[in-house]
Chain A
Amino acid sequence: MRTLVVGSYPPPAQRDAYRTLETVHRLGARGDAVDVLSSPGSASELEGAIVGPRGAWSVLRRGRAYDAVYVQVEPNMPLRTVHGRRARVARLVDCLAWGIALRLVRDATLVVPDPNVVHRALGGRTGRFLWSGADRVFVASEYGRRRLIEEGGVPDARIELAGPVPGVERHDDGDWSGLTDAAAVMAEVHRRASADRRAARRGGLETGV
């Protein structure tokens, strides 16, 4: 299956880019032929606008050639972060544009690792138009699922809770029993957490945070 993933992509190697990598890793693991559309300057195969109405048009234009389209939801994508007088208009335009684009491509999925990053609010009529445009919404936690149902108006049946990608074990070596002061425990916590972060970047853990 030919799949288009839309989102931030390295470089730079930041959290949102890793989340897109996780999605690509997950889809690749199930056998999809994945292309990534990201902003100019990234390592993606396809470059173009991915934010706001221009991003919606870009996804609509390219996405119709694919069997499935996955759109990562990030702090500034697909909805723009606009403050002041134009914020409401921008929100309205973005939600309408993306809601239409998602309806016109085949098998659209929104990947929402963290519902809190959505600028302004999840809900409202415009928000509901956006979320309901997707055939499927991936969330990383029960908390995200609940918010999308209650605020975003997404039917429960369309929401999927993403589980961990198999293949990389979390870091859990040795025991803690010899550590009796806070400094020693903290050093061990950081050592193990660092290993886990590296595993997550390789696609081993779904953070959802």
Chain B
Amino acid sequence: MTNPTRGRLAFVPPRYGAEIVGGSEAVMREAAQGLASRGWDVEILTTCARDHYTWANEYPAGTTTEDDVVVHRFPVERPRAKRSRARVDERIVAGDPISAKQQRAWLDGLFRVPELFNRLVVTADRYDAVILSPYLFWTTVTAATVAPDRTVVMPCLHDEPYAYLDVLRPVLADVARLWFLSEPEHQLAHRIAHLPAHDVTGAGVHVPEQYRPEKFRERHHLERPFILFAGRRERGKGWDWLGNAFHFAIQQYDVPFDLVAIGVGPAGAPVDTSGRVHVLGYLDHDEVADAFAAATAYIQPSTNESFSRTIMESWLAGTPVLASMGSEVLQWHCDRSGGGLTFGDEFDLAQCLSFLAAAPANADLLARAGREYVLANYRWDVVLDAMEASLRELTCGPS
């Protein structure tokens, strides 16, 4: 039951739904539901897209209610100049200077949702706060201009060439408030822009009621111990590197593990035929928890992380974490928790895997430290308290 005294919120994620794979999308969805359960009147303004590779309109446009949250979906306008956007994208990644006009064209070239923008312009006065995430999509950049004095951006920033584009700087600099998921993300934002009021809220993770690792193994016919990869199988997420590094560890160190990947990947990606890599695809939430519990360790090779929910899910499941030291965020979590090992290259990774194989009891001690860290810092009730305090300050002024 909503409590009208708490206020009205609009969340504007580029995609929304239980089956959407993506860290910022998951945090936005669970934060929206959590705040709704605490009495906030929450509405979602989002697109009809499900797949971030195609941005095709898969959900029907219109208004529905999902888990006490009103969801308004608007159709995506398909990109008009895919090739020229790809060329600009290559130049951005290479660090070439890009004109303001080209940056704008690059932003528009992925997808546009003019109906969503018009709806927000018309209805913005109804909301006490408009919450946007992540920083680099058309929805966030344009929606941030509608009611900047009531806009909160959760940028989910990581140190990548896009973060330094002029076209995206207003998202950090010209809104009312920012929510950061980790201290390294906060420090990175300070290096990029002059920031408005901000809080390091973190992101919450749900604590599963139970784990069924044996059931997971049986269902997927996994007989060997395995290392788990979860998320988007993309080069930017370290998947390609992991494929090579894992084979290196098998060939040169004879590590006894298989590699199991859950989540989504681009169509046409090469499939491993060594018999040691198992790509299981998208799994529902309960099964994801079971996958974490069944794994010998969870591996996070991505350097583009603003929080990394998956390492939290792994620690919660009592599974140690192997993380790329190329990500300040992952290194920060591992240092603070004592629950993870970090690797800089394939040699480090191979030795980490050797450790897991040789000393499983010691690895369990690391996982235990990680679980305590998550329970102390990233339960949803802790994170929602921080978000609510920030919203109260935005809507009522500093206490």
Contacts and interface: CB of A to CB of B under 8 A. Distances in A.
Interface of A: 81, 83-85, 87, 114, 116, 140-144, 146-147, 150-151, 163-164, 170, 172, 175-177, 179-183, 185-186, 188-190, 192-194, 196-197, 200, 205-209
B347 A208 contact: no
Contact of A186 (B248, B272, B342): B342
B341 interface: yes
B351 A182 contact: no
A209 B270 contact: no
Which label, helix, strand, loop or mixed, suits the secondary structure of the B interface? helix
B160 interface: no
Band of interface residues on B: 35 or more
Given A176-B355, A179-B362, A209 B235 contact: no
Given A182-B366, A189-B351, A196-B347, A83 B94 contact: yes
Given A83-B90, A180-B365, A209-B244, A142 B272 contact: yes
B358 interface: yes
B348 A176 contact: no
Report, nearest first, the 6 A-B pairs whose CB atoms are least far apart: A141-B247, A193-B347, A176-B359, A209-B346, A142-B274, A143-B243
A206 B253 CA distance: 11
B80 to A, nearest CB: 19
A144 to B, nearest CB: 7
B339 A182 contact: yes
Given A141-B244, A207-B346, A209-B345, A170 B252 contact: yes
A151 B270 contact: yes
Interface of B: 87, 90-91, 94, 96, 235, 240-241, 243-245, 247-248, 251-253, 270-274, 334, 338-343, 345-348, 350-352, 354-355, 358-359, 362, 365-366, 369
Contact of B338 (A147, A163, A183, A206): A183
A141 B342 contact: no
B142 to A, nearest CB: 27
A194 B338 CA distance: 22
Contact of B241 (A146, A188, A209): A209
Contacts of B274: 142-143
A196 B350 contact: yes
B381 to A, nearest CB: 27
B362 A196 contact: no
A116 B244 CA distance: 10
Contact of B341 (A114, A147, A185): A185
Contacts of A142: 247, 272-274
Contacts of B366: 181-182, 185
Nearest to B366: A182
Contacts of A147: 270
A200 B251 CA distance: 14
Given A180-B362, A181-B365, A193-B348, 7 more contacts: A84-B96, A116-B235, A143-B244, A143-B274, A189-B351, A196-B347, A197-B347
Contacts of B243: 141, 143
Nearest to B348: A193
A79 B352 CA distance: 35
